[in-house]
Structures are given as structure tokens and as C-alpha cells.
Structure 1
Amino acid sequence: MRRQDRVQSPCVSICALDENDLCIGCHRTSDEIMSWPRLDDDQRRKVLEQVAKREEKVGL
């Protein structure tokens, strides 16, 4: 699989963790951010599902 065909990172280059260990830009935890390069596409989709839930919870 070509790199550009992989599930892409939700990073928006606003990288700062809040008091809950969530990035204020992409809403991933520090563990999710650090493990992203090693995740397969199914695992990445699961992270993105969690991101969507977090965003919904805060009204984004």
C-alpha cells in the first residue's frame, strides 16, 4: 500500500496538550499521537472514532 493511501493523521499543527492529556488541535491523547506511525489503518480508524467522540462531547 502506498503511503498516501493510508489513513492520514488528524494533526492540524496546533500541538499542545491540555490538563486531560488531549491535544487541543487534533484531540488525540499523547499515547495516540506517539503510536500513530506504528498503527495499521484499522487501528488508526479506531483512534479517529475516539477523536470524533471527544469532539462531539465538546461541541465541535
Structure 2
Amino acid sequence: MQKPNRPDTPCVAVCSTTFDEICRGCGRTVDEVAQWVFMSDEEKERIWVRITSQGYPRRNT
């Protein structure tokens, strides 16, 4: 199965975790954002699947 063509990161430069631990721009948790560069491709793909199913990333929050 071919992996989807994705950017290196889901970040859309709309960073806000004001109301909870989830970024309103990319949908990742604070920990996922901090650990992103250390994650395996498989870990990143699991996060991509979750956040896209939830409607992230979003530029207009």
C-alpha cells in the first residue's frame, strides 16, 4: 500500500492550545508536537490518520 503524499508536519502555523491540550491548528496534542521530530514514520502516520479524520489541519480556527 502506498503512503499518502503528506507535508513533513501537520503544522499550519496556527498554534493554540489555550482551551485544552490539543492544538487548534493541527489537531496534535502538546506532547505530539514536542516529540514529532523524534517519531517514526509509523507513529506520524497514525497521528496523520487521526487528525485528518477529525478535520485537521485547519488554517481557520
TM-score, reference length from structure 2: 0.69
**What corresponds to 2:33 in structure 1?**
33
Paired amino acid for 1:11: C
Query: Is the helix fraction higher in 1 or 2?
Result: 1
Q: Establish whether residue 10 from structure 1 lines up as the match of residue 10 from structure 2.
A: yes
TM-score, reference length from structure 1: 0.70
**What corresponds to 1:53 in structure 2?**
53
* Whole-angstrom CA distance in 2 between matches of 1:29 and 1:18: 12
| Structure 1: 5+ residue stretches without partners | 1-6
Deviant stretches of 4+, over 3 Å: none
Higher normalized contact order (CA 8 Å, seq sep 6+, divided by chain length):
2
Paired amino acid for 2:38: R
Paired amino acid for 1:44: K
* Whole-angstrom CA distance in 1 between matches of 2:53 and 2:18: 17
Q: Establish whether residue 23 from structure 1 lines up as the match of residue 28 from structure 2.
A: no
The percent identity for this pair of structures is: 26
